Amino acid sequence: MAKRAKRSPRPARRRSRPRYYIVQLDTFEGEDTAFYLLGADPMWIVISASPTGGAAVVDCGYRSVTEAKEAWPEAVAPPEPRAPPRTIDCYRPLFSEPFFQDFWKQLKKAQAEKAR
């Protein structure tokens, strides 16, 4: 009688541990669903999410990110908002435009010729 080949051992399925995220909720009104918050300030919630287990709301009702971070230090929080840059305008200044540079050069040449 022939021996049966042994099955190679299957790797154990690892259940991925859920990660916790801090998410901001605002009043939302869509086509099929709506979510209303009383008051003007947003609410922060903590959700757990994993590739195999899906996502679920774990805790809710925080008034700020720092309050949620204190309660859930292991949760991934959104980055702190950075201060706006000190520049007045994010567009290129008029002086760097090619047409203005040409005009400026012509003006300087004309002034130099008049001075002679």
CB 68 within 8 A of CB 22: yes
The domain tally of the chain equals 1
- Is 60 among the domain residues? yes
- Is 83 among the domain residues? no
CB 22 within 8 A of CB 44: yes
Per-residue pLDDT of the chain (116 residues), as tens digits, is 455 556 666 665 566 788 999 998 888 788 888 878 877 778 899 999 988 878 898 998 898 889 999 999 999 988 776 766 665 555 555 566 677 778 778 888 888 888 87
Distance CA 78, CA 27 (A): 19
Domain carrying residue 42: 19-71
- The DSSP line for 25-79 is E--EE-SS-EE--SSSS-EEEEEEEETTTEEEEEEEEESSHHHHHHH-TTSB-PP
What's this model's pTM, rounded to 2 decimal places?
A: 0.53
- Is 78 among the domain residues? no
Distance CA 72, CA 55 (A): 17
- Is 6 among the domain residues? no
